[in-house]
Amino acid sequence: MKENIRYTKRHNTDTGTVIEVVQDITDIVEQNKQEFNNASTTWGDGDVFTNKIATIPFTVIDKLNQKGIMRGFHVLDKKKFAAWLNDRDNRVFRTKPGQI
């Protein structure tokens, strides 16, 4: 899998500068599909936060940080994070089936 590094684009507007953060997540999504299809349907020992259930791109982590669900790579609100992972729109980031 090639490295997916985010990069920024600067856009000058009449009211100031807008910085856009961009990341190609194609490889991450494809790898997640493979892991999801090959995943065991059992959760194993421990709670769900000790099992790999997702691979999330940096740009998405940035958005989760802005929402207060995460700080850096640490989950602050497990309930909201679980709801986010269970949301159908975020399925491409899942590597394991089931509800959190």
Q: Is the pTM of this model over 0.85?
A: no
Q: Is 13 inside a domain boundary?
A: no
Q: Taking 90 as the threshold, does the pLDDT of residue 55 lie above it?
A: yes
Give yes or no for a contact between 76 and 84, defined as CB atoms under 8 angstroms apart: no
Q: Is 57 inside a domain boundary?
A: yes
Q: Is 79 inside a domain boundary?
A: yes
pLDDT confidence tier of residue 1, bands split at 50, 70 and 90: very low
Give yes or no for a contact between 34 and 25, defined as CB atoms under 8 angstroms apart: no
Q: Taking 60 as the threshold, does the pLDDT of residue 25 lie above it?
A: yes
Give yes or no for a contact between 77 and 67, defined as CB atoms under 8 angstroms apart: no
pLDDT score of 13: 86
Q: Between the CA atoms of 44, 36, 77 and 45, what dihedral angle is there, to the nearest 10 degrees?
A: 0
Q: Taking 80 as the threshold, does the pLDDT of residue 84 lie above it?
A: yes
Q: Is 40 inside a domain boundary?
A: yes
Q: Is 41 inside a domain boundary?
A: yes
According to DSSP H, which parts of the chain are helical?
26-38, 58-66, 78-86
Rounded average pLDDT over 38-42: 81
Structure tokens at 90: 């975020």
How far apart are the C-alpha atoms of 99 and 28, rounded to whole Å? 21
Q: Is 83 inside a domain boundary?
A: yes
Rounded average pLDDT over 63-91: 96
Q: Is 11 inside a domain boundary?
A: no
Q: Taking 80 as the threshold, does the pLDDT of residue 67 lie above it?
A: yes
The residue segments making up the domain with residue 53 are: 25-93
Residues 6+ apart with CB under 8 A from 86: 99, 100
pLDDT score of 42: 73
**Domain total for the chain?**
1
Q: Is 88 inside a domain boundary?
A: yes
